[in-house]
Chain A
Amino acid sequence: DAKTTQPPSMDCAEGRAANLPCNHSTISGNEYVYWYRQIHSQGPQYIIHGLKNNETNEMASLIITEDRKSSTLILPHATLRDTAVYYCIVRDLTGTASKLTFGTGTRLQVTL
């Protein structure tokens, strides 16, 4: 799996948008971009995934650059409950290698 690079930590004021960047410059054509988050002492939670187009669901939006070498996860109105470690993962769905390779992630701290 291609590797990803994320800033180790970020702060965001409650109610503001949180924009979490991820670099995946060696991503291949078959690899999707996934985002998970892990709230302290819980299992990771799936947020969103995409291949080329921007994606939006009830939790977040995913913006993928045209060259697919980077992406941004957007939490439109961050709350204190969004404080967590956010993992950006690239993953090939075409083969049988289905594991998730987690990096160190970004620790997002949402403050009042």
Chain B
Amino acid sequence: KAGVTQTPRYLIKTRGQQVTLSCSPISGHRSVSWYQQTPGQGLQFLFEYFSETQRNKGNFPGRFSGRQFSNSRSEMNVSTLELGDSALYLCASSEGVVGYGYTFGSGTRLTVV
């Protein structure tokens, strides 16, 4: 079956703009998590959604938000972009709220200039 699909793969934005990233989980998976990866901070948890409800949130400012749709697809939004938001944004899906294993997508590489 198809894996976790993230779009777009690459994105360049200007400071102050906002951006929306998309994630389609594996069919049947109802939990979607988002992570940010930077060279300085490594992989950091952003938030997790299950059945359209945010279940867990990491320590990121309110400029970072997300949502999940009834078909389990998820989007994350970053408003008022800063240079430090340049990162690889990864989405992961699992079958349940506390899934035994997460399957990650290939990520969206966001560059803020």
Contacts and interface: CB of A to CB of B under 8 A. Distances in A.
A95 interface: yes
A98 B48 contact: yes
Given A97-B56, A98-B31, A104-B42, A46 B101 contact: yes
A97 B97 CA distance: 9
Contacts of A103: 42
Given A97-B56, A99-B58, A101-B45, A43 B4 contact: yes
Interface stretch (B61-69, B74-82, B102-110): B102-110
Interface in B26-85: 31, 33, 35, 42-45, 48, 55-56, 58
Interface residues of A, number: 21
Nearest to B3: A43
B2 interface: no
A42 B106 contact: yes
Given A44-B43, A44-B90, A102-B42, A96 B102 contact: no
Contact of B56 (A41, A49, A87, A99): A99
5 contacts: A45-B104, A98-B98, A100-B102, A102-B44, A103-B42
